[in-house]
Amino acid sequence: MKNSFYYKSKKFVVNTLIHILLISVAVTCLYPLLWMIVSSLKTQDMIFKDISLIPHQFHFENYTQAWKEGGFGGNFFNSIVYTVSVVFGIVIISSMAAYAFSRLRFVGSKFLFIMFMAAMMIPIPGSFVALYVLLNKLHLRNTPIGYILCMINVGLSTSIFLLKTFFDKMPKELEDAARIDGCSKIGIWWHVALPLAKPVLAVVIVFNALAVWNEYILALIIFDNRKFMPLQVALQSFQGEFVTNYPLLMAGLTITALPIILVYLFMQKYIIKGVTQGAVVG
């Protein structure tokens, strides 16, 4: 007969093991962030000489220097404009397209959907030259609108896939009720489908916001003018072929990471809901 001591001990051991595992994972995730912040407060030679996590001297001036030398002001604003525009464009277009693929019957719908899914398989860098030539012909090269349209295009496939999976599971009775109340197709999409899809939209928003915020290669190729470049391009100015200015790079990375961490924290509860509701199926 197993007594309560046995069960208490077992629970304690299991809990301890789970906590050790979770703490290890948390430390693995947090350590690079901590190293980034600590390194942003050291000098270049101290990074290589002093491996301690608490610097002997805090060099907060690295942040102002990174901001000035990287020309972060304008780039920061550009990144915000690109991220907001692209995410908005993706949410509107992908939700409409996903709803249409899920609910409307039209000729070639399956073929079109497969084409969108196939686009997910194409590595983005593989299409750079083609995109460049296309934008050049449309006179959209070196314009923010050209970059925004490209980035919307890049994010559409995955977002349509996520949203269509959600709309497929949505009860049709809700739409019937809305139709009886006089809602049009667009009205059903706006008043019924979109509000219900909030958790999936949160996933779409965060995934795409991250992708746009961190993108720089396409921007570098499309833009000739530095004033249109996003924040990530400014970060590259601290990274040379052989020499990297680590303190300024880390300060710049900390500045860059902050907004996206805030977006994640703001959307966290929706993302968890989205994932647990099976938003990220497949």
User: Which of 108, 171, 195, 240 contacts other proteins by CB under 8 A?
Assistant: 240
Q: What is residue 66's DSSP assignment?
A: H
Query: What is the distance between the alpha carbons of residues 10 and 229, in angstroms, rounded to a whole number?
Result: 57
**148 binds other proteins per the rule CB under 8 A:** yes
Structure tokens at 227: 């004033």
**81 binds other proteins per the rule CB under 8 A:** yes
CB of 45 to other proteins, least distance (A): 6
Q: Which of 159, 186, 162 shows the shortest CA–CA distance to 281?
A: 162
**142 binds other proteins per the rule CB under 8 A:** yes
User: Which of 75, 79, 83, 85 contacts other proteins by CB under 8 A?
Assistant: 85
**88 binds other proteins per the rule CB under 8 A:** yes
CA distances from 169 to 24, 103, 172 (A): 37, 11, 9
User: Which of 76, 207, 228, 270 contacts other proteins by CB under 8 A?
Assistant: 228
Query: What is the distance between the alpha carbons of residues 266 and 206, in angstroms, rounded to a whole number?
Result: 10
Nearer to other proteins, 161 or 175 (CB): 175
User: Which of 190, 214, 260, 277 contacts other proteins by CB under 8 A?
Assistant: 190
CA distances from 10 to 1, 14, 21 (A): 15, 6, 17
CB of 11 to other proteins, least distance (A): 45
The count of residues interacting with other proteins (CB under 8 A) is: 43
Question: Mapping DSSP to helix (H, G, I), strand (E, B) and coil, where does residue 5 land?
Answer: helix
Structure tokens at 30: 């947090």
**68 binds other proteins per the rule CB under 8 A:** no
User: Which of 9, 136, 268, 276 contacts other proteins by CB under 8 A?
Assistant: 136
CA angle, 157 as apex, 152 and 158 as ends, to 5°? 105
Per CB under 8 A, residues contacting other proteins are: 44-45, 48-49, 81, 85, 88-89, 92, 125, 128-129, 132-133, 136, 139-146, 148, 190, 216-217, 220-221, 224-228, 236-243, 245
